[in-house]
Chain A
Amino acid sequence: MGWLRHQKHALTAALGRLRAQPVSTLLTALAMGVAISLPAVLYLGLGNLGQVAGNLPAQPEISLFLDTRAADAQRAAIAARLKQPDIAEARFVPRDEALAALSAAQGLADISAGLTQNPLPDAWVVRPQATSRESLTRVADELGKLPGVAETHLDSLWADRLQAALAIGRAGVWLLASLFAIALIAISGNAIRAQVLARRDEILVSRLIGATDRYIRRPFLYLGALQGLLGGLAAIGVLAIAGAILRAPVERLAALYGSTFHLLAPTPVEIGAVLALTAAFGWIGAWLSVTRALQQVEAAR
């Protein structure tokens, strides 16, 4: 019957304790905020890097060289296949255009001038919808089996390198996030420990007149979660300030490269996740701290 009342009571008590010590509350929130903002900055940086990579022309491409003896019907069938939805873009390069491009390229004009006839085949440059290594290979294999296709060449090196780099980055984010989650638990645990010590008498008296451990623990858990939440808000504040400082120079650099690149802000879901996680880790820190303190207080009596 008293469960909801106990929760409300504990929440009110926790809010009161936060308000009673505004300076230490603020300092703890700042320490948490700075700790959490580091992996958050890395995470957002990776997101932005992914956006840059997405805008680069060097996309994973499949070059499709046609058999010089391919019949018109086969060519039409290939063109039809390349209009299907798994292909993002397909560009036909006639052999004359390819030769012209080759002649225009510096240092190759001499070679092409020596040719008596055009040795180049007609070609398609294909950009598939999916960019993972497996799907690229699969599409390339399938296209290579079409009648009239002499050879396919998968230019996946760039894609592989990007994937590998992003994988390291993502692993780094998780590693850093785990480390700072531990730091967050430690910060919260320490802040709550101070609170527990300051309330030693209350804990002792409450135990003596019939309080359960849960009853005693509850306001401290709320305190930890609220403190964590404030830490999360501080982290988002740090990100907002960092974004405001970096925006102008980044966009100027992008403009010099002729790009319309903008810094990506965290989405509401990401902000929500940061707040939920900091609150959760604040709670865990409080739980560890108050459980330990309960045992000590009891033993020291």
Chain B
Amino acid sequence: MINFSQVTKRYPGGHEALSAVNLSIEQGELVFLIGHSGAGKSTLLKLIAAIERPTSGMVTLSGQNVGRLTRLAVPYLRRNIGLVFQDHKLLFDRSVIDNVMLPLDIAGFDRREAIKRARAVIDKVGLLMREKANPVSLSGGEQQRLCIARALVSRPALLLADEPTGNLDAGYAADIMAMFRDFHQVGTTLVIATHDDRAISALGGRTLRLDHGRIEEVAA
């Protein structure tokens, strides 16, 4: 599903985040990216979602050359990807349910259908009691769950999560990892960047270690 072929990403200023990375991820896989901060985990995720473009090499997603997409085509690529951010990127000028409905509005869903879907996914992450609340009133763990709900509401085949448990205490982190395991079991492809070893050992799956822009498989 995802293919990296000799991918190098150099940021302006010369910092090389990824160096000649080769990588292949199959559909339905659960993949953890680990490594110290600054090792290139975020960069790798950003290259898949066309948030950054490779300096050289080729990134493909379902056969599409992601690095070569035009500005017009990028939104349609992203609609098939659920993105979970460490800083949540929620909008605080609207309610929980409106945050979750944003991807459906963007895709042009019928409002009633959108509400139905949003409710279902909010229920799944355990926030149905708070659907009318402003996200600012939610705890860190709840905000992260809301971010996950928004990433999943359009039922993407691929979920990319960058440090989804980064700011959370152990209890919340375990909840969220359990949620990811459920999605993995229904066939969603997940790529999760984390430094949370407990989560990895609990879920199993494939683990890749990034070190100074180089990638290596970690034996299970």
A residues with CB within 8 A of B = 1-3, 5-6, 9, 201-202, 204-213, 215, 301
Contacts and interface: CB of A to CB of B under 8 A. Distances in A.
B76 A210 contact: yes
A206 B110 CA distance: 18
A201 B135 CA distance: 15
Contacts, number: 54
A13 to B, nearest CB: 10
B178 interface: no
Contacts of B78: 208-210
Contact of A206 (B71, B72, B83, B106): B106
Contact of B93 (A1, A3, A202, A213): A202
B111 A206 contact: no
Interface in B76-99: 76-79, 83, 89-91, 93
Closest 6 CB pairs of A and B: A2-B108, A210-B79, A210-B78, A212-B75, A211-B106, A210-B75
Given A1-B108, A202-B91, A202-B93, A212 B150 contact: no
A209 B83 contact: yes
B107 A210 contact: yes
B83 A9 contact: no
B91 A6 contact: no
A206 B102 CA distance: 8
A242 B179 CA distance: 68
B36 to A, nearest CB: 24
B51 interface: yes
A222 B173 CA distance: 43
A5 B75 contact: no
Contacts of B150: 209
Nearest to A212: B75
Nearest to B106: A211
Nearest to A20: B93
Interface of B: 49, 51, 71-72, 75-79, 83, 89-91, 93, 102-103, 105-111, 150-151, 154
A20 to B, nearest CB: 9
A202 B91 CA distance: 7
Contact of B108 (A5, A205, A301): A5
Contacts of B108: 1-3, 5-6
Contacts of B109: 2
B72 A5 contact: no
B110 A209 contact: no
Nearest to A211: B106
A201 B102 CA distance: 13
A212 B111 CA distance: 19
A208 B102 contact: no
Contact of B106 (A1, A204, A215): A215
A209 B103 contact: yes
Contacts of A206: 102, 106
Contacts of A205: 89-91, 102
7 contacts: A2-B109, A201-B91, A202-B91, A206-B106, A208-B89, A210-B76, A211-B106
Contact of B102 (A204, A209, A213): A209
Contact of B83 (A2, A201, A208): A208
A5 B114 CA distance: 12
Contact of B75 (A3, A6, A211): A211
A65 B111 CA distance: 83
B129 to A, nearest CB: 24
A211 B76 CA distance: 8
Contacts of B89: 201, 204-205, 208
A88 to B, nearest CB: 63
A25 to B, nearest CB: 17
Given A209-B79, A210-B77, A210-B78, 6 more contacts: A205-B91, A208-B89, A209-B78, A209-B151, A210-B154, A213-B72
A186 to B, nearest CB: 27
A201 B49 CA distance: 18
A195 B146 CA distance: 26
Interface centre among A5, A201, A205, A209 (most CB of B within 10 A): A209
Given A2-B107, A5-B108, A5-B111, A207 B91 contact: no
B71 A213 contact: yes
Contacts of B90: 205
B74 to A, nearest CB: 8
A297 B201 CA distance: 40
Given A202-B91, A205-B89, A210 B71 contact: no
A111 B89 CA distance: 100
A148 to B, nearest CB: 79
A290 to B, nearest CB: 15
